[in-house]
Amino acid sequence: MSLNLLFWAYTLIWILLAGYLGLLGLRQQALTRRVDRLRARLGSQTAGKQEPS
Amino acid sequence: MNLALQTTVRSICLWAVLTLCMLASIHGVFLDAPRERVMGDVQRIFYFHFPAALGSFLAFAVVCFAGVSYLCTRQRRWDHLGRASAEVGVLFCTIVLVSGPLWAKSAWGTWWTWEARLTTMLVLWLLYISYLMIGLYTDSREQRARAAAVVGIVAFLDVPIVYFSVKWWRGHHPIILGRGGEGGLSPEMWPVVWICLVTFLLLYGILVGLRMSLARAEDIVLDMEEHLQN
Amino acid sequence: MAYFHGVWLIARKDLVSESRTLERLSSMLFLALTVLVIFSFALDFSRHQMADLAAGVLWVTLSLSAVLSLHESFRLEREDKALWALRLAPLDESAIYLGKLLANLLLLGGPAVLTLLLGALFFNLDLAPAAAPLALVLLLNMLGFASLGTLFAALSSSTRRGEILLHLLLLPLSIPLILAAVRSTTPLLLGRGFSAITLWLKLTVIMDIAFVTAGILLFEYLTEE
């Protein structure tokens, strides 16, 4: 019983820490996608204008 | 290019040190630390529970400091620091709230008691979750930053108040620091506590650094998107 | 002296505009009445220790209805950008805060007293012996609640979904206030003397000082556009 509780305490702590890192990773991915979109838009705009400002 | 390389090397070094510290703490917690006489092995939860609690207090103090700095200087990096620190603080607070009841189950026989420190942690958790939700209900980044700074300051002002009000309301928690008593630590336990404290401090620093750089990147992307729209 | 005159002018402005519509007073009172009725159905007051429960019920009712009223406190200022004009007045920003706080205190205090009387009626409580200390408890706790509320209402009224924000911010921050209020009301309802609650009253006074100071110092940052 007592060891069981100890096991779960540390398991949950690792899960929480890993979960937070995963969350940061997901946000990073979302941001990368936004940067890609931005880059695509920027590319088409400058291509249309023919002069980068 | 050189700068990017430098950053990579530094972050690899930090993660390596963190991994080593973490392994040392785990080794200390499960192998080096003596078995507690009264509570048995469950007491080993304490070695992560206590540093997480201290870490969350540190995090919330940093939120307050960042809030004051933001209001004085209006530099975005203080806002980033505040939000990053609050997030990590809530994470640590969650660790405390999860590990606390598991320990209480064996020590006091119930999962949850409305005991002073546990309750304070719960209230702090609520407070800083509301801090993190400010972003959902404000209209601009600038407004969010100002609101977050003010809330961060007032919330930290609330920390001692919450603690004392809950303490006078209820209270039985082993007293670790100060007077000895039954919850006191034996001398062989202290090195392990210190290793765990250092590990959590490092973990705090690394997580806040990660979150801050993410916030900075988000800000830059938003700037560019706004710039393109105009 | 001119400072306090300015504070009074702002408070009076709010009270006059409220007296024209009675919007905030009536909505707060109505919500309080409804919550009290719901509580009376939900809790069986004939079976439990009445005084024990009553203090909790009363303060939950009061704080919920106070948030509603507080959100309205800056609505008019924002609607026609009246806050700009107010900030142009030759007054310190903190005078606006204190004026608003004074008005809010009166506008929350009135319905709060009525709610207390209604609660006494519903739950068969005898308030007469403890009237004076109860009034003090009510005043001190409403001051703390209004000082936080005025500060964050300035923020919540400037955002589109501010009402949720006000609830989110104000309720967790005022947990110690509500706790102290309940703890100091219960002994009074049980007929114990004033000495039973001095500790909680001291804590409330400390909270009031802390929150009012925070409001005075931080208010200007939340009214910026």
pLDDT of A7 reads 86
pLDDT of A49 reads 53
End-to-end CA distance of chain B: 31
Contact B98 A34 (CB under 8 A): no
Preferred mutation among C170, C179, C219 to probe B, highest tally of B CBs within 10 A: C179
Q: What is the pLDDT of residues B36-56, one digit of tens each?
A: 777 777 778 888 899 999 999
| C89 pLDDT higher than 50 | yes
Tell me, what DSSP letter sits at residue C195? G
Cα separation, C133 vs C204, whole angstroms: 13
Position A53 confidence tier, pLDDT thresholds 50, 70, 90: very low
DSSP string, B129-148: HHHHHHHHH-SSHHHHHHHH
Cβ(C172)–Cβ(B130) below 8 Å: yes
pLDDT of B42 reads 77
Nearest CA in chain C to B138: C159
Own/partner long-range contacts of C157-164 (Cβ < 8 Å, ≥24 apart): C157/C71, C157/C73, C157/C74, C157/C75, C157/C77, C157/C78, C158/B139, C158/B143, C158/C74, C158/C78, C158/C222, C158/C223, C158/C225, C159/B137, C159/B138, C159/B139, C159/B143, C160/B139, C161/B137, C162/B137, C162/C71, C163/C71, C164/B137
pLDDT of A48 reads 56
Preferred mutation among C173, C205, C208, C220 to probe B, highest tally of B CBs within 10 A: C173
C160: phi then psi, degrees, rounded to nearest 5: -65, -45
Cα separation, C153 vs C170, whole angstroms: 9
A2, A41, A45: residue with CB nearest B41:
A2
| B178 pLDDT higher than 50 | no
Give the residue carrying structure tokens 């409305």.
B114
CB-based contacts of B25, cutoff 8 Å, min separation 6: B47, B48, B192, B195, B196, B199
Nearest CA in chain A to B43: A6
Q: What is the pLDDT of residues B147-162, one digit of tens each?
A: 999 999 999 999 888 8
- Report the percentage of chain B scoring pLDDT > 90: 46
| A19-45 mean pLDDT | 89
pLDDT of B89 reads 96
Cβ(B50)–Cβ(B73) below 8 Å: no
Contact C199 B168 (CB under 8 A): yes
Cα separation, C36 vs B199, whole angstroms: 51
Taking CA atoms, C171 is separated from A18, B63, B217, in Å, by 31, 20, 33
Position C49 confidence tier, pLDDT thresholds 50, 70, 90: low
Q: How far is A50 from chain B (nearest CA, A)?
A: 16
Q: What is the mean pLDDT of chain C?
A: 88
* C149, amino acid identity: G
Q: What is the pLDDT of residues C115-132, one digit of tens each?
A: 999 988 888 888 888 888
State pTM to two decimals: 0.89
Q: What is the pLDDT of residues B180-194, one digit of tens each?
A: 444 567 777 888 889
Position B173 confidence tier, pLDDT thresholds 50, 70, 90: low
B185 touches chain A (CB under 8 A): no
Q: How far is A13 from chain B (nearest CA, A)?
A: 6
- Report the percentage of chain C scoring pLDDT > 90: 50
Preferred mutation among B68, B138, B166 to probe C, highest tally of C CBs within 10 A: B138
Taking CA atoms, C22 is separated from A37, B71, C14, C72, in Å, by 53, 37, 11, 12
| Burial (CB count within 10 angstroms: exposed 0-12, middle 13-18, buried 19+), residue B62 | buried
Q: How far is B68 from chain C (nearest CA, A)?
A: 10
Neighbours of B49 (CB within 10 A): 22
pLDDT of C121 reads 87
CB-based contacts of B184, cutoff 8 Å, min separation 6: B175, B176
| B67-86 mean pLDDT | 95
Cα separation, C9 vs C15, whole angstroms: 10
A1, A10, A41: residue with CB nearest B228:
A41
pLDDT of B88 reads 96
B102, B218, B224: residue with CB nearest A5:
B102
